[in-house]
Amino acid sequence: MILNKGRNFVIFLAMVLLTSHIILGQSEEQKSLEAKREQLQNEIREINRLLFAKKKQRGTVLDQMTALDQKINVRQQLIEVANKQAIVLNQKINANIAAISQLRAELNVLKEDYALMIQKSYQNRSKQSRLMFLLSSEDFFQAFKRLQYLEQYTAFRRTQGEAIATKTDELTRLNKDLNEERKVKVVLLAQNRKAKKQLFKEIQEQKDLLANIRKNEGQYRAIISKKEEESRKIDKQIEKLIRSAIAAANKASGKKGTNAAKFDLTPEATLIANNFIANKGRLIWPVEKGIKSQGFGVYQDALYPGIKHESNGVIITTDEGAIARAIFEGEVIAILSVPGGNKGVQIKHGNFISTYYNLSDLYVKKGDKVAIKAELGKIFTNVNNGQTRLKFYLYQDTSKLNPEEWVYQL
């Protein structure tokens, strides 16, 4: 009988451990989702602060449409994460409810068994009865087995008492956790309802803006065409300056037959390039703080999804007066100056080139050696929309790279 109860207790303990493992896994997932939700909330706050600040001039409809589209996208991600959190919380709550129910049932059984043992122990409490139980054995082997039984009985009784205390504490903790989880779920659902309401409002704003733009489609397309022309000018000059820098560096090395599209690296430049590669995905942002308002690669037009645009770099929106900074140690190889545009700086890191464009003031000149975080220049602020944007590009020799793969969490 004692052995059967012991086996049942072990089975129950295994079930509790399995449930605890499931709950622990859900807790880790919940922490990860909460961190993601907090990140998205911060991103929305930064979008509102940097792209939707109250200005006398709101900028072009294209600026407004792009900013609103970005905020809607982040808001949708936020709602999706919150929904996942609610699912995980439900699973955790249900697991806790099941664990509490099982604990209560086992606790009742333990208490009943314990009460029965106490009663029997009281009835057979005299030392004489225990002694007679041993002396009445038919042989030594039976006496030895009876002695073992008495010892097991005493140990099991003590274990049962400890198990009752442990399970009572565990039950109290689970009930407390359950109440906290239900409170968290209520708050989460309320925040999610608020986020959905805000999303519907922003979608309506986008529809209204869309209707306004379509009334002036020619003006909108003219704005797009102008921006694309400006972008092409910048891209051409960046690539031209890189090729010029490669040609100058390779000529200075004195080696013949070198590849005109690749730097002929010195041992020192090779070391810098290797260190640059080793830091892929961990490079610092080219500004102290800000948000990525345009990513790398081909993307759909905010108004006409059938129209595709291509970005050879990323655009980071930051605070007025912000300073562009070097993402890694290197040498200034060129200063950009686009006719009718702003200024830029190119820095060589071995055979990697980082470009920082849309600067109003420069703090470095060609040939300067710069350290990581070195201040390169003040970023231009557009008086029409009040936005301060840095255009950041990354190349390896003449090959375009996606800065999002190299800069930490860009």
Return d(Cα 345, Cα 373) in angstroms, integer: 14
Give the residue, 17 or 248, on which the prediction is more confident: 248
HSE at residue 162, side-chain half, CA atoms within 13 A, is 7
Return d(Cα 161, Cα 118) in angstroms, integer: 11
Over residues 363-382, mean pLDDT: 92
Over residues 37-50, mean pLDDT: 72
* pLDDT (0 to 100) of residue 1: 44
Helix axes 140-215, 127-135, angle to 10 degrees: 110
User: Same domain for 258 and 183?
Assistant: no
- With a pLDDT cut of 90, the percent of the chain lying above it is 20
* pLDDT (0 to 100) of residue 314: 92
User: Same domain for 205 and 276?
Assistant: no
Residue 224 inside a domain? The answer is no
* pLDDT (0 to 100) of residue 370: 94
* pLDDT (0 to 100) of residue 330: 93
Give the residue, 325 or 143, on which the prediction is more confident: 325
User: For residue 320, is pLDDT > 60?
Assistant: yes
Least confident of 84-88, 346-350, 361-365: 84-88
- With a pLDDT cut of 70, the percent of the chain lying above it is 67
* pLDDT (0 to 100) of residue 56: 44
Beta bridge partners of 399: 396
Residue 379 inside a domain? The answer is yes
User: Same domain for 133 and 244?
Assistant: no
User: Same domain for 196 and 285?
Assistant: no
Helix axes 140-215, 217-253, angle to 10 degrees: 110
Residue 229 inside a domain? The answer is no
User: Same domain for 251 and 195?
Assistant: no
User: For residue 217, is pLDDT > 70?
Assistant: no
Other C-beta atoms within 10 Å of 339: how many? 6
Over residues 122-149, mean pLDDT: 57
Q: Is 383 helix (H, G, I), strand (E, B) or coil?
A: coil
User: Same domain for 271 and 385?
Assistant: yes
User: Same domain for 250 and 168?
Assistant: no
Total count of domains within the chain: 2
Return d(Cα 406, Cα 276) in angstroms, integer: 9
Residue 226 inside a domain? The answer is no
By the 8 A CB rule, do 79 and 59 touch? no
User: Same domain for 163 and 244?
Assistant: no
The distance of Cα 28 from the centroid of its chain, to the nearest Å, equals 14
Terminal C-alpha separation, the chain: 65
Residue 220 inside a domain? The answer is no
Residue 227 inside a domain? The answer is no
Any idea what the CATH number is for the domain that residue 350 is in?
Answer: 2.70.70.10
User: For residue 364, is pLDDT > 60?
Assistant: yes
Domain span at residue 254 reads: 234-405
Residue 317 inside a domain? The answer is yes
User: For residue 284, is pLDDT > 70?
Assistant: yes
Q: And the tokens for 142? A: 């039976």
Residue 223 inside a domain? The answer is no
Residue 366 phi/psi, 5-degree rounding, is -60, 135
Over residues 147-165, mean pLDDT: 61
Domain boundary among 188, 215, 242: 215
- Where residue 270 falls (left for φ over 0; alpha for ψ -120 to 50; beta otherwise) is alpha
Return d(Cα 180, Cα 23) in angstroms, integer: 14
User: Same domain for 208 and 326?
Assistant: no
* pLDDT (0 to 100) of residue 394: 94
Domain boundary among 152, 180, 215: 215
* pLDDT (0 to 100) of residue 322: 92
How confident is residue 283, by pLDDT bands cut at 50, 70 and 90? very high
Over residues 193-218, mean pLDDT: 74
How confident is residue 293, by pLDDT bands cut at 50, 70 and 90? confident
Residues 6+ apart with CB under 8 A from 164: 107, 110, 111, 114
> Taking all residues of the chain, what is their mean pLDDT, rounded to a whole number?
75
User: Same domain for 180 and 276?
Assistant: no
How confident is residue 149, by pLDDT bands cut at 50, 70 and 90? low
User: For residue 182, is pLDDT > 90?
Assistant: no
Over residues 24-31, mean pLDDT: 66
- For residue range 222-241, what is the model confidence (pLDDT) as tens digits? 777 777 777 788 888 888 88
* pLDDT (0 to 100) of residue 275: 93
Over residues 134-148, mean pLDDT: 62
DSSP state of 339: T
* pLDDT (0 to 100) of residue 280: 93
* pLDDT (0 to 100) of residue 57: 45
Give the residue, 122 or 220, on which the prediction is more confident: 220
User: Same domain for 267 and 355?
Assistant: yes
Return d(Cα 97, Cα 22) in angstroms, integer: 13
Residue 328 phi/psi, 5-degree rounding, is -165, 165
User: Same domain for 211 and 240?
Assistant: no
